[in-house]
A = this chain, B = another copy of it.
Amino acid sequence: MNAEIVSVGTELLLGQIIDTHAPVMARILADCGIGCTRRTTIGDNWERLVGALSESLERADVLITIGGLGPTVDDLTRDAIAAALGDELEEVPEVKEKLERFFSQRGIPWNPSIGRQAQKPTSATLIDNPNGTAPGLRCQKNGKVVIALPGPKGEFDPMAHGPVKEILSTLQGNQVIHSRTLRISGMGESQVEAVIRDLMDTESPTVAPYAHTGEVHLRLTARAESREAAARIIDPMEQAIRERLGSHVFGVDDHRLEDAVIELLEKQGATLAVSESMTGGELGARLTSVSGASKVFLGGAIAYSVAAKEDLSGVSRETVEAHGPVSEETATAMAEGIRKRLGSTYGIAITGNAGPTVDVDNKPVGLVFVAMAWEGGSYVDRSQFRGVREDIRRRASQVALGMLRNKVLEQV
Protein backbone atom coordinates (compact mmCIF):
# COMPACT_ATOMS: atom_id res chain seq x y z
CA MET A 1 0.00 0.00 0.00
CA ASN A 2 1.42 3.36 -0.96
CA ALA A 3 0.38 6.97 -0.55
CA GLU A 4 0.96 10.31 -2.22
CA ILE A 5 0.59 13.77 -0.72
CA VAL A 6 -0.57 16.76 -2.74
CA SER A 7 -0.03 20.21 -1.18
CA VAL A 8 -2.26 22.84 -2.76
CA GLY A 9 -1.58 26.59 -2.95
CA THR A 10 0.11 29.10 -5.20
CA GLU A 11 1.93 30.63 -2.23
CA LEU A 12 3.47 27.24 -1.48
CA LEU A 13 4.27 26.48 -5.10
CA LEU A 14 6.02 29.80 -5.65
CA GLY A 15 8.06 29.33 -2.49
CA GLN A 16 6.57 32.24 -0.59
CA ILE A 17 5.84 29.96 2.31
CA ILE A 18 7.65 26.78 3.28
CA ASP A 19 5.62 23.59 3.33
CA THR A 20 5.95 22.09 6.80
CA HIS A 21 2.64 20.18 6.69
CA ALA A 22 3.62 17.64 4.01
CA PRO A 23 6.63 16.46 6.05
CA VAL A 24 4.37 16.05 9.11
CA MET A 25 1.94 14.03 7.01
CA ALA A 26 4.76 11.88 5.56
CA ARG A 27 5.93 11.01 9.06
CA ILE A 28 2.38 10.09 10.11
CA LEU A 29 2.08 7.83 7.05
CA ALA A 30 5.34 6.14 8.02
CA ASP A 31 4.09 5.63 11.57
CA CYS A 32 1.06 3.88 10.09
CA GLY A 33 3.23 1.65 7.91
CA ILE A 34 2.16 3.28 4.65
CA GLY A 35 5.00 4.12 2.28
CA CYS A 36 4.90 7.66 0.90
CA THR A 37 6.11 7.45 -2.69
CA ARG A 38 5.61 10.97 -3.99
CA ARG A 39 4.78 14.46 -2.84
CA THR A 40 3.46 17.09 -5.22
CA THR A 41 2.95 20.82 -4.78
CA ILE A 42 0.47 22.45 -7.10
CA GLY A 43 -0.98 25.96 -7.39
CA ASP A 44 -4.56 27.20 -7.22
CA ASN A 45 -5.17 26.30 -10.87
CA TRP A 46 -8.17 24.16 -11.75
CA GLU A 47 -6.80 22.09 -14.64
CA ARG A 48 -3.40 21.47 -13.12
CA LEU A 49 -4.92 20.55 -9.76
CA VAL A 50 -7.42 18.09 -11.22
CA GLY A 51 -4.60 16.69 -13.38
CA ALA A 52 -2.26 16.19 -10.43
CA LEU A 53 -4.97 14.54 -8.30
CA SER A 54 -6.03 12.21 -11.13
CA GLU A 55 -2.43 11.13 -11.77
CA SER A 56 -1.83 10.48 -8.07
CA LEU A 57 -5.00 8.39 -7.91
CA GLU A 58 -3.69 6.25 -10.78
CA ARG A 59 -0.42 5.53 -8.99
CA ALA A 60 -1.33 5.44 -5.30
CA ASP A 61 -3.78 3.65 -3.01
CA VAL A 62 -4.06 6.60 -0.67
CA LEU A 63 -4.09 10.28 -1.63
CA ILE A 64 -3.82 13.00 0.96
CA THR A 65 -4.44 16.63 0.04
CA ILE A 66 -3.46 19.59 2.20
CA GLY A 67 -4.95 23.05 1.72
CA GLY A 68 -7.48 24.69 -0.57
CA LEU A 69 -10.59 23.91 1.49
CA GLY A 70 -11.31 27.53 2.49
CA PRO A 71 -14.16 29.81 1.46
CA THR A 72 -12.58 31.83 -1.36
CA VAL A 73 -12.76 31.28 -5.11
CA ASP A 74 -9.09 30.22 -4.97
CA ASP A 75 -9.98 27.24 -2.82
CA LEU A 76 -10.47 24.48 -5.37
CA THR A 77 -9.49 21.26 -3.65
CA ARG A 78 -12.99 20.10 -2.68
CA ASP A 79 -14.29 20.49 -6.22
CA ALA A 80 -11.13 19.04 -7.75
CA ILE A 81 -11.35 15.88 -5.65
CA ALA A 82 -14.95 15.43 -6.75
CA ALA A 83 -13.88 15.88 -10.37
CA ALA A 84 -10.96 13.46 -10.07
CA LEU A 85 -13.19 10.82 -8.46
CA GLY A 86 -16.12 11.42 -10.84
CA ASP A 87 -18.28 12.52 -7.91
CA GLU A 88 -20.94 15.23 -7.68
CA LEU A 89 -20.95 17.79 -4.88
CA GLU A 90 -23.73 17.81 -2.32
CA GLU A 91 -24.55 20.16 0.52
CA VAL A 92 -24.39 18.95 4.14
CA PRO A 93 -27.21 20.78 5.97
CA GLU A 94 -25.66 20.47 9.45
CA VAL A 95 -22.42 22.06 8.25
CA LYS A 96 -24.34 24.84 6.52
CA GLU A 97 -26.26 25.60 9.74
CA LYS A 98 -23.04 25.58 11.74
CA LEU A 99 -21.44 28.02 9.29
CA GLU A 100 -24.45 30.33 9.34
CA ARG A 101 -24.41 30.34 13.12
CA PHE A 102 -20.65 30.97 13.22
CA PHE A 103 -20.75 33.94 10.87
CA SER A 104 -23.92 35.51 12.25
CA GLN A 105 -22.53 35.32 15.82
CA ARG A 106 -19.52 37.27 14.60
CA GLY A 107 -21.69 39.75 12.70
CA ILE A 108 -20.03 38.82 9.40
CA PRO A 109 -22.49 39.04 6.50
CA TRP A 110 -23.11 35.74 4.70
CA ASN A 111 -21.86 35.39 1.16
CA PRO A 112 -22.33 32.45 -1.18
CA SER A 113 -18.68 31.40 -1.27
CA ILE A 114 -18.78 30.65 2.46
CA GLY A 115 -21.45 28.08 1.64
CA ARG A 116 -18.97 26.09 -0.47
CA GLN A 117 -17.44 24.88 2.78
CA ALA A 118 -20.70 23.04 3.48
CA GLN A 119 -20.35 20.93 0.33
CA LYS A 120 -18.75 17.52 -0.04
CA PRO A 121 -18.13 15.02 -2.83
CA THR A 122 -20.86 12.35 -2.80
CA SER A 123 -18.45 9.56 -1.78
CA ALA A 124 -17.07 11.57 1.13
CA THR A 125 -17.70 11.50 4.83
CA LEU A 126 -16.65 14.50 6.92
CA ILE A 127 -13.73 14.73 9.33
CA ASP A 128 -14.50 17.08 12.18
CA ASN A 129 -12.43 20.28 12.35
CA PRO A 130 -12.92 21.72 15.85
CA ASN A 131 -10.65 24.70 15.13
CA GLY A 132 -12.01 26.01 11.87
CA THR A 133 -15.02 26.28 9.60
CA ALA A 134 -13.99 23.85 6.83
CA PRO A 135 -14.38 20.17 7.76
CA GLY A 136 -11.92 17.61 6.38
CA LEU A 137 -12.99 14.94 3.89
CA ARG A 138 -12.54 11.19 3.66
CA CYS A 139 -13.56 9.64 0.34
CA GLN A 140 -13.53 5.95 -0.42
CA LYS A 141 -14.15 4.92 -4.03
CA ASN A 142 -12.85 2.34 -6.52
CA GLY A 143 -10.47 0.91 -3.93
CA LYS A 144 -8.84 4.30 -3.34
CA VAL A 145 -8.86 6.44 -0.21
CA VAL A 146 -8.69 10.23 -0.46
CA ILE A 147 -8.27 12.37 2.62
CA ALA A 148 -8.47 16.17 2.43
CA LEU A 149 -7.13 18.41 5.19
CA PRO A 150 -7.29 22.21 5.59
CA GLY A 151 -4.09 24.25 5.37
CA PRO A 152 -4.08 26.54 8.46
CA LYS A 153 -1.66 25.06 10.98
CA GLY A 154 -4.01 25.30 13.96
CA GLU A 155 -6.56 23.22 12.04
CA PHE A 156 -4.20 20.86 10.19
CA ASP A 157 -2.08 19.71 13.14
CA PRO A 158 -4.79 18.40 15.48
CA MET A 159 -6.70 16.77 12.59
CA ALA A 160 -3.59 15.10 11.15
CA HIS A 161 -2.35 13.75 14.47
CA GLY A 162 -5.86 12.82 15.63
CA PRO A 163 -8.61 11.44 13.37
CA VAL A 164 -6.50 11.18 10.18
CA LYS A 165 -3.78 9.16 11.86
CA GLU A 166 -6.50 6.91 13.25
CA ILE A 167 -8.02 6.35 9.81
CA LEU A 168 -4.62 5.65 8.26
CA SER A 169 -3.59 3.21 10.95
CA THR A 170 -6.59 1.01 10.11
CA LEU A 171 -5.72 0.85 6.40
CA GLN A 172 -2.47 -1.11 6.53
CA GLY A 173 -2.73 -4.51 8.17
CA ASN A 174 0.48 -5.41 9.89
CA GLN A 175 3.59 -3.33 9.26
CA VAL A 176 4.33 -0.08 10.99
CA ILE A 177 7.30 2.21 10.79
CA HIS A 178 7.85 3.68 14.21
CA SER A 179 10.24 6.46 15.17
CA ARG A 180 11.34 7.94 18.44
CA THR A 181 13.29 11.19 18.74
CA LEU A 182 15.73 11.80 21.58
CA ARG A 183 16.30 15.50 22.27
CA ILE A 184 19.72 16.60 23.44
CA SER A 185 20.97 19.93 24.76
CA GLY A 186 24.39 21.19 25.75
CA MET A 187 26.22 19.33 22.93
CA GLY A 188 26.67 20.12 19.23
CA GLU A 189 25.79 17.72 16.40
CA SER A 190 29.40 16.70 15.74
CA GLN A 191 30.04 16.13 19.46
CA VAL A 192 26.99 13.88 19.66
CA GLU A 193 28.04 12.05 16.53
CA ALA A 194 31.59 11.52 17.83
CA VAL A 195 30.25 9.88 20.98
CA ILE A 196 27.72 7.54 19.32
CA ARG A 197 29.27 7.00 15.86
CA ASP A 198 29.48 3.20 16.22
CA LEU A 199 25.80 3.02 17.20
CA MET A 200 24.84 4.82 13.98
CA ASP A 201 25.94 1.86 11.84
CA THR A 202 23.07 -0.38 12.93
CA GLU A 203 20.34 -1.21 10.44
CA SER A 204 17.47 -1.62 12.86
CA PRO A 205 16.78 0.73 14.43
CA THR A 206 18.37 3.37 12.21
CA VAL A 207 19.85 6.33 14.09
CA ALA A 208 19.90 9.72 12.35
CA PRO A 209 21.05 13.03 13.87
CA TYR A 210 19.42 16.41 13.10
CA ALA A 211 20.73 19.77 14.26
CA HIS A 212 18.33 22.45 15.58
CA THR A 213 19.00 25.83 17.18
CA GLY A 214 20.64 25.02 20.51
CA GLU A 215 19.74 21.35 20.47
CA VAL A 216 20.35 18.09 18.60
CA HIS A 217 17.73 15.45 17.82
CA LEU A 218 18.47 11.76 17.28
CA ARG A 219 15.78 9.91 15.38
CA LEU A 220 15.56 6.13 16.02
CA THR A 221 13.42 4.29 13.48
CA ALA A 222 12.33 0.64 13.24
CA ARG A 223 9.87 -1.30 11.11
CA ALA A 224 7.94 -4.15 12.70
CA GLU A 225 4.55 -5.83 12.83
CA SER A 226 3.30 -3.50 15.53
CA ARG A 227 4.16 -0.26 17.22
CA GLU A 228 4.99 -2.23 20.35
CA ALA A 229 7.33 -4.59 18.48
CA ALA A 230 9.07 -1.59 16.87
CA ALA A 231 9.33 0.03 20.29
CA ARG A 232 11.05 -3.11 21.60
CA ILE A 233 13.67 -2.77 18.83
CA ILE A 234 14.18 0.90 19.69
CA ASP A 235 14.29 0.55 23.52
CA PRO A 236 17.79 -0.99 23.89
CA MET A 237 19.24 1.57 21.44
CA GLU A 238 17.69 4.42 23.43
CA GLN A 239 19.23 2.88 26.54
CA ALA A 240 22.69 2.64 24.92
CA ILE A 241 22.52 6.26 23.74
CA ARG A 242 21.38 7.50 27.14
CA GLU A 243 24.30 5.71 28.79
CA ARG A 244 26.69 7.68 26.59
CA LEU A 245 24.97 11.07 26.67
CA GLY A 246 23.68 11.05 30.24
CA SER A 247 21.56 14.02 31.29
CA HIS A 248 22.18 15.76 27.96
CA VAL A 249 19.10 13.83 26.78
CA PHE A 250 16.31 16.05 28.05
CA GLY A 251 13.27 14.78 26.25
CA VAL A 252 11.64 12.30 23.89
CA ASP A 253 9.56 13.14 20.79
CA ASP A 254 7.55 16.33 21.37
CA HIS A 255 8.84 16.96 24.87
CA ARG A 256 10.52 20.35 24.55
CA LEU A 257 13.14 21.87 26.81
CA GLU A 258 10.47 24.15 28.33
CA ASP A 259 8.30 21.11 29.07
CA ALA A 260 11.26 19.42 30.79
CA VAL A 261 11.96 22.52 32.90
CA ILE A 262 8.36 23.04 34.03
CA GLU A 263 8.07 19.34 34.89
CA LEU A 264 11.27 19.37 36.96
CA LEU A 265 10.29 22.54 38.81
CA GLU A 266 6.95 20.98 39.69
CA LYS A 267 8.70 17.83 40.89
CA GLN A 268 10.95 19.92 43.14
CA GLY A 269 7.98 22.00 44.35
CA ALA A 270 9.92 25.09 43.27
CA THR A 271 8.77 28.35 41.68
CA LEU A 272 10.37 30.55 39.05
CA ALA A 273 10.51 34.22 38.08
CA VAL A 274 12.25 35.69 35.02
CA SER A 275 13.75 39.02 34.06
CA GLU A 276 14.29 39.50 30.35
CA SER A 277 16.05 42.30 28.61
CA MET A 278 17.30 41.21 25.18
CA THR A 279 14.73 38.43 24.73
CA GLY A 280 11.86 40.81 25.55
CA GLY A 281 9.51 38.10 26.82
CA GLU A 282 10.49 35.12 24.68
CA LEU A 283 11.64 33.03 27.65
CA GLY A 284 8.37 33.74 29.48
CA ALA A 285 6.40 32.95 26.32
CA ARG A 286 8.20 29.61 25.93
CA LEU A 287 7.64 28.66 29.59
CA THR A 288 3.95 29.64 29.53
CA SER A 289 3.37 27.74 26.29
CA VAL A 290 3.38 24.69 28.58
CA SER A 291 -0.13 23.86 29.88
CA GLY A 292 -0.10 24.07 33.65
CA ALA A 293 2.95 26.37 33.80
CA SER A 294 1.08 28.50 36.33
CA LYS A 295 1.81 25.95 39.06
CA VAL A 296 5.50 26.93 39.05
CA PHE A 297 5.91 30.05 36.93
CA LEU A 298 5.02 33.28 38.76
CA GLY A 299 5.90 35.75 36.02
CA GLY A 300 8.56 38.41 35.85
CA ALA A 301 9.85 41.56 34.22
CA ILE A 302 10.43 42.53 30.62
CA ALA A 303 13.34 44.72 31.69
CA TYR A 304 14.03 46.21 28.29
CA SER A 305 14.82 49.79 29.30
CA VAL A 306 17.14 50.79 32.13
CA ALA A 307 14.08 52.18 33.95
CA ALA A 308 12.34 48.80 33.74
CA LYS A 309 15.48 47.06 35.02
CA GLU A 310 15.39 49.34 38.06
CA ASP A 311 11.65 49.63 38.70
CA LEU A 312 10.55 46.07 37.94
CA SER A 313 13.65 43.97 38.47
CA GLY A 314 15.28 45.76 41.41
CA VAL A 315 18.61 46.54 39.73
CA SER A 316 20.36 49.57 41.24
CA ARG A 317 21.26 52.49 39.01
CA GLU A 318 24.85 52.18 40.26
CA THR A 319 25.15 48.62 38.94
CA VAL A 320 23.94 49.59 35.48
CA GLU A 321 26.10 52.72 35.41
CA ALA A 322 29.23 50.97 36.63
CA HIS A 323 29.03 47.87 34.40
CA GLY A 324 26.55 48.68 31.63
CA PRO A 325 23.19 46.99 30.91
CA VAL A 326 24.94 44.13 29.07
CA SER A 327 27.18 42.77 31.81
CA GLU A 328 27.64 39.90 34.22
CA GLU A 329 26.80 42.19 37.14
CA THR A 330 23.56 43.55 35.67
CA ALA A 331 22.43 40.04 34.66
CA THR A 332 23.04 38.76 38.19
CA ALA A 333 21.30 41.76 39.78
CA MET A 334 18.29 41.20 37.49
CA ALA A 335 18.03 37.53 38.48
CA GLU A 336 18.43 38.27 42.19
CA GLY A 337 16.08 41.26 42.02
CA ILE A 338 13.18 39.48 40.33
CA ARG A 339 13.55 36.45 42.60
CA LYS A 340 13.30 38.67 45.68
CA ARG A 341 10.45 40.69 44.18
CA LEU A 342 8.20 37.72 43.48
CA GLY A 343 9.50 35.48 46.28
CA SER A 344 10.32 32.58 43.95
CA THR A 345 12.73 29.69 44.50
CA TYR A 346 14.70 30.65 41.38
CA GLY A 347 15.20 33.83 39.42
CA ILE A 348 16.66 33.79 35.92
CA ALA A 349 17.71 36.75 33.79
CA ILE A 350 18.91 37.42 30.25
CA THR A 351 20.68 40.52 28.95
CA GLY A 352 22.69 40.90 25.76
CA ASN A 353 22.96 42.50 22.36
CA ALA A 354 20.94 40.70 19.67
CA GLY A 355 22.05 43.15 16.98
CA PRO A 356 21.97 44.11 14.24
CA THR A 357 24.44 46.79 15.45
CA VAL A 358 26.88 47.22 18.31
CA ASP A 359 24.78 48.66 21.14
CA VAL A 360 24.99 52.01 23.00
CA ASP A 361 27.04 50.27 25.64
CA ASN A 362 29.55 49.31 22.92
CA LYS A 363 28.91 45.58 23.41
CA PRO A 364 29.38 43.33 20.35
CA VAL A 365 26.43 41.70 18.57
CA GLY A 366 25.80 38.24 19.98
CA LEU A 367 27.25 38.86 23.46
CA VAL A 368 24.77 37.43 25.98
CA PHE A 369 24.75 37.03 29.76
CA VAL A 370 22.35 34.59 31.39
CA ALA A 371 22.23 34.65 35.20
CA MET A 372 20.44 32.51 37.73
CA ALA A 373 19.81 33.20 41.41
CA TRP A 374 18.59 31.07 44.31
CA GLU A 375 18.58 31.21 48.10
CA GLY A 376 22.17 32.02 48.98
CA GLY A 377 23.73 31.74 45.54
CA SER A 378 23.92 32.78 41.92
CA TYR A 379 25.56 31.77 38.68
CA VAL A 380 26.18 33.62 35.42
CA ASP A 381 27.02 32.39 31.92
CA ARG A 382 28.67 34.46 29.20
CA SER A 383 28.12 33.44 25.56
CA GLN A 384 29.11 34.91 22.23
CA PHE A 385 26.62 33.78 19.59
CA ARG A 386 26.63 34.17 15.83
CA GLY A 387 23.63 34.54 13.58
CA VAL A 388 20.76 36.94 13.07
CA ARG A 389 18.72 38.65 15.81
CA GLU A 390 16.16 35.84 15.94
CA ASP A 391 18.82 33.11 16.32
CA ILE A 392 20.69 34.98 19.04
CA ARG A 393 17.49 35.46 21.05
CA ARG A 394 16.50 31.82 20.61
CA ARG A 395 19.94 30.61 21.68
CA ALA A 396 19.84 32.86 24.74
CA SER A 397 16.49 31.45 25.90
CA GLN A 398 17.86 27.97 25.17
CA VAL A 399 20.87 28.63 27.48
CA ALA A 400 18.52 29.91 30.20
CA LEU A 401 16.33 26.79 30.02
CA GLY A 402 19.39 24.51 29.98
CA MET A 403 20.85 26.28 33.02
CA LEU A 404 17.58 25.99 34.93
CA ARG A 405 17.29 22.33 34.07
CA ASN A 406 20.82 21.54 35.26
CA LYS A 407 20.26 23.38 38.53
CA VAL A 408 16.94 21.71 39.28
CA LEU A 409 18.36 18.29 38.32
CA GLU A 410 20.82 18.69 41.21
CA GLN A 411 17.89 19.14 43.60
CA VAL A 412 15.46 16.41 42.59
Contact = CB atoms under 8 A, between A and B. Distances in A.
B11 A219 contact: yes
Nearest to A106: B188
A167 B291 CA distance: 47
Contacts of A211: 70, 152
8 contacts: A14-B179, A55-B55, A108-B190, A108-B191, A131-B386, A279-B285, A284-B284, A300-B304
Contacts of A219: 10-11, 16
A389 interface: yes
B288 A113 contact: no
B41 A39 contact: yes
Given A131-B391, A311-B341, A72 B190 contact: yes
A294 B352 CA distance: 13
A27 B41 CA distance: 14
Q: Which of A36, A190, A390 has the largest count of B CB atoms less than 10 A from its CB?
A: A190
Contact of A208 (B44, B297, B298): B44
Contact of A311 (B157, B209, B293, B342): B342
Q: Which of A194, A279, A282, A312 has the largest count of B CB atoms less than 10 A from its CB?
A: A312
A388 B131 contact: yes
Interface in A60-113: 70-74, 103, 106, 108-109, 111, 113
A4 to B, nearest CB: 10
Contacts of A367: none
Nearest to A48: B37
Interface of A is mostly: mixed
Interface in A339-370: 341-343, 355-356
Interface in A230-257: none
A303 B308 contact: no
A200 interface: yes
A400 interface: no
A19 B16 contact: no
Contacts of A9: 210
Contacts of A277: 299
Interface string A183-209: 000001111011000001000000011
Contacts of A408: none
Contact of A113 (B10, B22, B38, B190): B190
A334 to B, nearest CB: 11
Given A109-B194, A131-B386, A308 B70 contact: no
